[in-house]
Amino acid sequence: MIGPLSRTALRSRWAVQRLARAADELQAPDVVACRRHGDGVVAGRDVPLRVMGLEFGSPLILAAGLDRHGHLLRSGAALGLGAVETGSQWTTSPQPLSLHLVAHPRKRGEARRPLLAGGSGSAALHGLSLAKPPALDWGEAGEAFWRAVRAWHRGADYVVLNPGRGCPSAARFADLVAALAARCARLVRAGRLALVVKLPATWIEPAGRAALACRFVAAGADGLLVSAEGAAAGACRRLAEVREAVGPAIGLISVGGIDSVREARARLQAGANLIQLHRAALRGGPRGPDLLARIAALRSQG
């Protein structure tokens, strides 16, 4: 009998395999030539989307937990993916994510080419998602986050810091982010590592959401992942309030309840720079890649 966690993992694995096959088909020479003339499914961008100092080929991000090992990092842009987030859970030893970094290392100092969504052979940006292991006490969380960043940062373009469900308070997590940001500023790498903080829906429901967002920006966040998971109603209003509070320079990523082009467009119009998909990307058949392509073709309003 397959348990709920195993079932979810299997669905994610099958979805990644389907998307990888679709990406391979879209990168076939005859399909690429057709798409370059505007007749294909994925619309290319003339100018990459610049957010948090990074160039995204599209506003579409594949959420962490779906492709934990980064199988779509090399081919995902053919589907319109601007970034693929790997990880979502880790331990104090670099497993299993390090397997990806060993298989596909980026040379130190290597410059990243501007991305065009759907370009032949183009790669999606790599977001590394980190959440405290459940067995670890919060008193040790700061050092654990730092060890993970130090071990894996060379293969990532940005890091998402996820407080998870057991974080004692937003204030405590803000202190952790501030300490981590100060250490990350001293990392030796080709470019600055952007830090994104996930704001769970429960944190941004109260009236103080604007002040909370500003607190994380002051702590060193380059971007905020504003979650509407389980609370999709009113997501655009909350996004607009956060955008007004933090200003145009901070990257905003919207996740949760985005299952259509219409909803993705509404989130972008409300102030999001980037759209993150998870459950919608699990769809089988032609609708899955088609939805990704149509959302990837949208342009941020920011």
Provide the pLDDT for residue 109.
39
Look up the pTM and report it: 0.82
- In whole angstroms, what is the distance from residue 196 CA to residue 225 CA? 7
Q: What are the residues whose beta carbons fall under 8 Å from the beta carbon of 242, sequence distance 6 or more?
A: 199, 204, 209, 210, 213, 224, 226, 252, 271
Q: What are the residues whose beta carbons fall under 8 Å from the beta carbon of 8, sequence distance 6 or more?
A: none
Provide the pLDDT for residue 199.
95
Residue with tokens 């991305």: 115
Are 259 and 67 in contact by the 8 Å Cβ rule? The answer is no
- The band of 229, judged by pLDDT with boundaries at 50, 70 and 90, is confident
Identify residue 200 by its one-letter amino acid code: P
DSSP conformation letters of 198-255: EE-HHHHSSTTHHHHHHHHHHHT-SEEEEE-TT--TTHHHHHHHHHHHH-TTSEEEEE
Q: What are the residues whose beta carbons fall under 8 Å from the beta carbon of 70, sequence distance 6 or more?
A: 84, 86, 97, 100, 104, 126
Task: Calculate mean pLDDT across residues 5-19.
Answer: 69
- The band of 223, judged by pLDDT with boundaries at 50, 70 and 90, is very high
- For the domain made up of 4-296, give the CATH fold: TIM Barrel (3.20.20)
Provide the pLDDT for residue 3.
53
- In whole angstroms, what is the distance from residue 205 CA to residue 122 CA? 38
Strands 54-56 and 60-62: unpaired
More confident of the two residues 129 and 65: 129
Give domain limits for the chain. 4-296
Overall residue count recorded for the chain in this entry: 302
Residue 106 has pLDDT above 80, yes or no: no
